[in-house]
């Protein structure tokens, strides 16, 4: 039985605390000599000049990566989205090239560091039962600590600091500047576009609605007229994302019941017109739009988690996870006989959220 000849694995001066343990394990292992060639030291292990040059090259890569990451941040603000470069978006090109180049250089630097400067000795690890013995575990920790020592992380401050700088800029710079894409902070969460005198219109045609057009038992999906209002050139005044956001809070349902079936909420005795009531279409649980209307029971059901609201009883929750009644919009009629809102909603239109009681208090103060 023979063992690999490791006699040529002497250290050229870097200190190899794991080698003696490895050799000892190797001689104890009952395997044939696999014919492994004797170890060849790398040029950087035996030539201090080459070692220094490799160290400078690695730290140079990390330094250039840092510059590219800073350029990424500058380009994000300095290059206009409309600018082009060779037919491409100049902004995308600048961001992609700088970030890609930085990542490439950091990766290449780490590889070069590991291949040319970190400790270079062969480790033989015999197979063991799944759980290592306590002794082996202790050996592993010795090897890990030796590896940390051999990487030169503590001894090569130039490489270490340039790498930490590049990683620091990578982890902080691009993520922070890209927070800008989150847009402006939301304001006036508790308000919608409804206001006193605004007509309630059909949600598809935008046509105003007269009370006589709604039959007992009927439900109509409706919107505020503001979402259909146009300027002199025929363009919607509220459009794009703003219109979508406004619609998501202002959508309503109109229902008509027999007046004698209605139990108006306190202070809401005059919020309906001839048995017609108007409620938010947004479920107070997590905000699904609702319109599953049960004519006989006067309940409206949310399809998401089955919250059920009694529209004849001020939108009270009678089943399901919703914790608040469906907000009601006070109705009136204008001089031409069309349905209008008498104010904005007086309850917050939204699913429940942590600051809801604060926003509700603001609304209560507003309508006191
Ligand atoms: S969103 Fe309506 S019940 Fe959950």
284 CA to middle of ligand 1, Å? 7
> What separation in angstroms does the CA of 111 have from each of 99, 101, 119, 180?
18, 15, 13, 34
Q: Coil, helix or strand for 331?
A: strand
Nearest 5°: CA angle at 322, between 300 and 342?
A: 60
Q: What is the number of the ligand 1 atom nearest to the C-alpha of 283?
A: 2
pLDDT at 5 > cutoff 80 = no
Q: What is the number of the ligand 1 atom nearest to the C-alpha of 307?
A: 3
Which DSSP helix (H) or strand (E) runs through 241?
Answer: helix 240-250
290 CA to middle of ligand 1, Å? 9
Q: What pLDDT is attached to residue 225?
A: 96
Tell me the C-alpha distance between 261 and 246, whole Å. 32
Place of tokens 């990578």: 170
Our mutation pick for probing the ligand 1 site, out of 288, 301, 326, counting the most ligand atoms within 8 A of Cβ, is 288
97 CA to middle of ligand 1, Å? 46
pLDDT winner (highest mean) among 178-187, 207-216, 350-359: 207-216
CATH of domain 200-367: 2.102.10.10
pLDDT at 10 > cutoff 50 = no
Q: Tell which residue, 12, 9, 17, 13, has the closest CA to residue 149.
A: 17
189 CA to middle of ligand 1, Å? 20
245 CA to middle of ligand 1, Å? 19
pLDDT at 366 > cutoff 80 = no
pLDDT at 24 > cutoff 60 = no
198 token code pair: 């605004």
Place of tokens 């649980």: 285
Ordered by start, the domain boundaries in the chain are 19-182, 200-367
Q: Tell which residue, 175, 197, 11, has the closest CA to residue 99.
A: 175
Ligand 1 binding site (Cβ under 6 Å of any ligand atom): 283, 285-286, 288, 302, 304-305, 307, 320-322
Our mutation pick for probing the ligand 1 site, out of 291, 322, 353, counting the most ligand atoms within 8 A of Cβ, is 322
Chain centroid, CA 292 distance in Å: 32
Report yes or no: 281 and 233 within 8 Å, Cβ to Cβ: no
Q: What pLDDT is attached to residue 351?
A: 83
Nearest CA to ligand 1 atom 4: 305
Q: What is the number of the ligand 1 atom nearest to the C-alpha of 351?
A: 1
Q: Tell which residue, 352, 350, 346, has the closest CA to residue 364.
A: 346
- Tally of CB atoms within 10 A around 73: 18
CA atoms in the 13 A half-sphere facing the CB of 40: 5
356 token code pair: 């809801």
Q: What pLDDT is attached to residue 33?
A: 62
Q: What pLDDT is attached to residue 9?
A: 43
Our mutation pick for probing the ligand 1 site, out of 281, 283, 292, 300, counting the most ligand atoms within 8 A of Cβ, is 283
Report yes or no: 161 and 153 within 8 Å, Cβ to Cβ: no
57 CA to middle of ligand 1, Å? 60
pLDDT at 271 > cutoff 70 = yes
Mean pLDDT of 301-311: 95
Tell me the C-alpha distance between 199 and 341, whole Å. 6
pLDDT at 293 > cutoff 50 = yes
- 226: Cβ–Cβ under 8 A, 6 or more apart, which residues? 193, 198, 237, 238, 246, 250
Report yes or no: 276 and 214 within 8 Å, Cβ to Cβ: yes
Tell me the C-alpha distance between 214 and 224, whole Å. 17
- What is the average pLDDT score of the chain? 86
pLDDT at 30 > cutoff 80 = no
Report yes or no: 302 and 267 within 8 Å, Cβ to Cβ: no
List helix spans (H) across 47-127: 48-78, 90-116
Phi then psi for residue 326, to 5 deg, are: -70, 125
């Amino acid at each position: 039985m023979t063992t690999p000849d490791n006699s040529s694995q002497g250290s050229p001066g870097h200190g190899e605390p794991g080698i003696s343990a490895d050799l000892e394990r190797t001689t104890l292992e009952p395997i044939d000599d696999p014919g492994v060639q004797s170890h060849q030291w790398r040029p950087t292990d035996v030539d201090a000049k080459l070692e220094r040059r490799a160290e400078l090259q690695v730290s140079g890569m990390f330094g250039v990566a840092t510059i590219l990451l800073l350029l990424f941040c500058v380009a994000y603000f300095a290059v206009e989205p409309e600018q082009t470069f060779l037919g491409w978006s100049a902004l995308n090109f600048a961001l992609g090239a700088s970030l890609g180049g930085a990542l490439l250089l950091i990766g290449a630097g780490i590889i070069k560091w590991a291949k040319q400067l970190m400790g270079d000795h062969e480790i033989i690890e015999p197979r063991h039962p799944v759980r290592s013995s306590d002794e082996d575990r202790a050996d592993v920790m010795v090897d890990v600590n030796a590896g940390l020592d051999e990487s030169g992380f503590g001894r090569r401050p130039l490489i270490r600091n340039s790498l930490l700088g590049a990683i620091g800029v990578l982890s902080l710079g691009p993520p922070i500047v890209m927070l800008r894409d989150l847009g402006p902070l939301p304001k006036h969460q508790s308000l919608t576009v409804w206001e006193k005198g605004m007509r309630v219109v059909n949600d598809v045609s935008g046509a105003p609605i007269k009370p006589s057009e709604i039959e007992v038992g009927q439900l109509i999906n409706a919107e505020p007229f503001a979402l259909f209002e146009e300027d002199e050139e025929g363009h919607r005044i509220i459009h794009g994302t703003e219109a979508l956001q406004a619609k998501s809070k202002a959508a309503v349902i109109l229902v008509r019941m027999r007046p004698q079936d209605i139990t108006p909420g306190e202070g809401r005795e005059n919020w309906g017109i001839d048995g017609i009531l108007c409620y938010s279409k947004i479920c107070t649980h997590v905000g699904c739009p609702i319109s599953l209307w049960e004519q006989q029971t006067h309940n409206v059901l949310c399809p998401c988690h089955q919250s059920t609201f009694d529209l004849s009883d001020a939108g009270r929750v009678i089943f399901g996870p919703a914790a608040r009644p469906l907000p009601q919009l006070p109705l009136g009629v204008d001089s031409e006989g069309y349905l209008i809102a008498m104010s904005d909603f007086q309850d917050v239109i939204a699913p429940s959220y942590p600051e809801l009681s604060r926003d509700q208090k603001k609304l209560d103060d507003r309508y006191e």
